[in-house]
Structures are given as structure tokens and as C-alpha cells.
Amino acid sequence: MSTTKVKVAENAAKFIQQDDIHEKLHDQNLWNVRMRRDTVASAIPEWEELRTLASRIKEHTLTHLDEYVLQFADNAEKRGIKVHWASTAEDHNRIVYEILASHQVKRLVKSKSMLQEECHMAPYLEKRGITLTETDLGERIQQLSGQDPSHIVMPAIHQTKEDIAKLFAEKIGTDPNKVDANYLTEAMRNNARPKFLEAEATMTGANFAIAETGSFVVCTNEGNADLGAAIAPLHIASIGIEKMVPKVEDMGVFIRLLSRSAVGTAATQYTSHFSGPRKGTEMHIILTDHGRSHRLGLEDFWSSLKCIRCGACMNTCPVYRRSGGLSYGATYSGPIGIILDPSYDEDKYSELPFHSSLCGSCTEVCPVRIDIAEQIVKWRKVMSAKKKLPVGLRLAFGVTGTVFKYPWVFRTAEAAGKWALKFAPDALIYNKTLNAWGRQRKLPEFADQTFRDWYLKNRNKEPKA
Ligand code: SF4
């Protein structure tokens, strides 16, 4: 993995400055999803209790994860599913390739799996001669664009209809002047159908793995996972070990939360339980760790493993909505990315925790009550303690610390600042080099009198320092 530091603010600036359309549309589209989420959530009186219950089920499962993973594997094997164990991304990819090679698979269709994205599986297989087709529409758009997904639920949300019409015209021969969403979707469907029929294998991820049954659940809105699994003679599912839930009845809680939080609909169009191979076919599961055990041992960050990948925290985040997901330079972007990515590589993702307004909206919408904003602050502390802060922030925090530490310095700075803001605001506040914060902002008028001056005048005594 490359350790070149991701310059998330620089990347976001490029996204914003490319034109007048992309940022505004991205912001608006995601905000619409957030509003739909609010509408459907508020229609359920026990919504907050559901969130609490989901959080408790996940916390219970994670604190007994060894038992549940083994129970799941045992029950899956009893159903005729072949279970494999992968501790790293390399293990995962090697196992997938070995299964495919042993079945002489050359053509593979797959539905969306963030775990497979984490493992960078697609390029690994393509290098070894496997033709891989993404079947989720958004993922297919990203595959044809040569880009990673920018959102965990809507992978191509940063692209406009015009972008997609141009891409499809180049790659699958559609009319470049037709930007109608139905036309484009239909064209991709017609392009994808033969690939389902030709594929010798299919791959899925899993939204949930049920320990008591050994079955797994895949939620999609396009039915592409089901179509692949219904046709191909070989089905491989990549499952992160944190996907466990103890019982089938737990699904009643998570299914009610997932789609409402993700896209503001009551349920995904397809919620499929896979409980073993069809007659004459094979089903394999790769139970994958890839950093999850490490994260489980991090006292401040283990609860991020509760995440059910709904994307609600991204949709609501004012910084994500204006940055575009690709700016984060990681598999996971937005608030959930900020708390997951540094656990893989603290150097590479050291700027991510500072790409947040800390408004707390992410914590408010998370269906499994992950304290996302609090974890972002904790990651800032980690970066600060390990001296990984961006230079500008290190200087600013050093100066601010001194100002707040000594009352006389504070008073001097207050007087100097007031003067400077009055006579040289461009140098101090709107300086593009010194102060990134000020670039997009206008300060309100400053009051003539500070609170300290007012207090001294009206109370006629020195406040306690
Ligand atoms: S952190 Fe919460 S809101 Fe964000 S993707 Fe995960 S479950 Fe959804």
C-alpha cells in the first residue's frame, strides 16, 4: 500500500473548482437523500429505540465475535458452503483466485462489495487474466471510468447524467446526445445481460452473516446479486468478520434501519438470504479479517466495527457533500472513512480527521449509534500526539495554546487582533496562503466593545482569569 499522504483538502478544492455544476449537484442530491431519510425515519415512532437496539446487538456480537464467527462457519459448512479464512487482503485475493483458477473461470460477474474494494481485488484478478464485470450500475459506471467508488451506497454520485452519457457513448456506444436516465439505465442493462449469461462465476459481498443459521444476507436495489447467483455455477461471497449477527430475528431490526438510513426507502428492493449452494453448483465464503481484529483492540475506535455501511453519515456531512468522495483518496470516504481509514495507515490518512466541521450530524443519523464525531476528535488527538498534524495546523494550535495559557498574552492578542481585523483583514483573515479557513468565508462586523471591556465597565471589577 502506498504511504503517500492523501491531500484531502487539495483534492476537495479541485472537485469544487472544476466547474459550477458538480459540487452543487453533489451537495443537493445527497441532501435530498438525507431529507428522505428524515421523512421515513420520523414515520416510525420507535426509531430511536431501534437504533439503540441495533447498537446493542452489534456491541454484544463484537464483544463475543470469536464465538459467533465460529458458530457461523460451522453452520455454513453444514449447509454445504465451503468456508475459507483470510487474515489479510492478500490472503483474500489469493483464495479468490485459487478458487476461480481451479474451476477454469475466465469471466466473472460481481455485485458491490466494499470489502472487495478494500482488498483491491479487481485489479488483482484482472492482472491474472480474469475478465471482471461490475453489475451494480454505479459500480459499473466507476469501473468504466477507471475510478474507485466515491460513496459506499451510490458509487457514482459525484458524476452528472451528462458525464455518464459521454462515458457510455465512448464505452458502450450509446447516443452521446441522450442524457435521459431511463435510456442510460436501459442501455447498461442490455449491455450487462449477456455478461451474466456468459459468466462462469459470480461474486457478492454480504450485508449480514447470521451465526445461528450459517446463512448470509445481501441487500440490493437492482437484483444484480440475485441474478448472478441464480445463473452462475460458482458463487463466492466475501464477508468481513464484523458482519456477524447472532440470530435471524435480529434481521428485523437491521433491515428496518438499513434502507431507511441509506436512501430513505422502507426496504431495499431485494433482501436475499443465501443459505447454501443450488443443486449442482458450489458456494464459497471467504471470512476476512483485513485489519478488523486490530481495530477491535483499539479502545477508542473498536465501535466503528458496528457500521452497517448505510452511508447516512456521508449524506448528511456538509464537508463530504462539498468535497466529493474521491477527495478522501481511500476506499471509505466521508465521516465513516475518517474513522476507518487511519486504522489502516496513519501516515497516509493523517489529514482526514481534520476534514470535518465536527458538527455532529453524522453521529445523529448513524443507525447503530457510532459516536463518529467523538472518534474523529480522538483521531485528531492521535495525529497530534504522533506529530502528524499538517504544518499550518501545528503552528496555529501552538500559537493558540500560548494565547489561551497566559491571560496577559490573551489580552495583548485581543487588542492586536481587533486592530488588525479593522485595518488589515485581508492579510489576516482572507490570506489564501496563511489561512485556508478564511478563503470561503466573510466575517461578520466586529463589535466595538469586547465582552471583557463591557464586563469591566458594567461590573467594575476584573473577572477571574
Ligand atoms: S458509520 Fe453509521 S451512518 Fe455511517 S455508514 Fe456506518 S452505519 Fe451508516
Q: Is residue 214 within 8 Å of 15, Cβ to Cβ?
A: no
Which pLDDT score is estimated for 433? Answer: 66
C-alpha angle 270-275-276 in degrees, rounded to nearest 5: 125
Of 347, 405, 271, the closest CA to residue 413 belongs to 405
Looking at CATH, the fold of the domain delimited by 44-290 is given as Rossmann fold (3.40.50)
Protein residue closest via CA to atom 3 of ligand 1: 366
Distance between terminal CA atoms of the chain? 50
Domain with CATH 3.40.50.10420 in the chain: 44-290
Distance from the CA of 363 to the center of ligand 1, in angstroms?
Answer: 9
**From its phi and psi, is residue 155 left (phi > 0), alpha (psi between -120 and 50) or beta?**
alpha
Other beta carbons less than 10 A from residue 60's beta carbon: 14
Whether the CB of 54 sits within 6 Å of ligand 1:
no
Which pLDDT score is estimated for 428? Answer: 63
Closest ligand 1 atom number to CA of residue 309: 5
Dihedral sign for Cα 230, 236, 238, 243, please: positive
Which pLDDT score is estimated for 430? Answer: 63
286 pairs with which residues across the strands? Answer: 84, 238
Q: Is residue 413 within 8 Å of 403, Cβ to Cβ?
A: yes
Which pLDDT score is estimated for 427? Answer: 64
Q: Is 15 helix (H, G, I), strand (E, B) or coil?
A: helix
Q: Pick out the chain residues at pLDDT < 70.
A: 1-2, 425-437, 439-440, 460-465
Whose grid coordinates read 477527495?
A: 327
What is the 3 state secondary structure string of 189-205?
A: HHHHHHHHHHCCEEEEC
Whose grid coordinates read 437484483?
A: 223
For the segment 162-183, what is each residue's pLDDT rounded down to a tens digit? Answer: 999 999 999 999 999 999 999 9
Let me know how many helices (H) and strands (E) the chain has, helices first.
22, 10
Protein residue closest via CA to atom 8 of ligand 1: 310
Distance from the CA of 374 to the center of ligand 1, in angstroms?
Answer: 14
Distance from the CA of 137 to the center of ligand 1, in angstroms?
Answer: 22
Question: What percent of the chain shows pLDDT beyond 70?
Answer: 94
Distance from the CA of 15 to the center of ligand 1, in angstroms?
Answer: 24
Q: For the CA atoms of 335, 339, 340, 345, what is the dihedral angle to 10 degrees?
A: 120
Whose grid coordinates read 465451503?
A: 82
Task: Provide the grid cell at 84.
Answer: 475459507
For the segment 380-420, what is each residue's pLDDT rounded down to a tens digit? Answer: 999 999 988 877 778 888 888 899 999 899 888 888 877 77
Rounded Cα distance between 223 and 226, Å, is: 5
Rounded Cα distance between 128 and 1, Å, is: 19
Distance from the CA of 417 to the center of ligand 1, in angstroms?
Answer: 41
Whose grid coordinates read 441464480?
A: 230
Rounded Cα distance between 109 and 413, Å, is: 63
Whether the CB of 263 sits within 6 Å of ligand 1:
no
Which pLDDT score is estimated for 295? Answer: 96
Whether the CB of 368 sits within 6 Å of ligand 1:
yes
Task: Provide the grid cell at 340.
Answer: 476507518
pTM (predicted TM-score) = 0.89
Closest ligand 1 atom number to CA of residue 306: 7
Of 352, 424, 359, the closest CA to residue 393 belongs to 352
Whether the CB of 312 sits within 6 Å of ligand 1:
yes
Rounded Cα distance between 247 and 250, Å, is: 5
Which pLDDT score is estimated for 463? Answer: 54
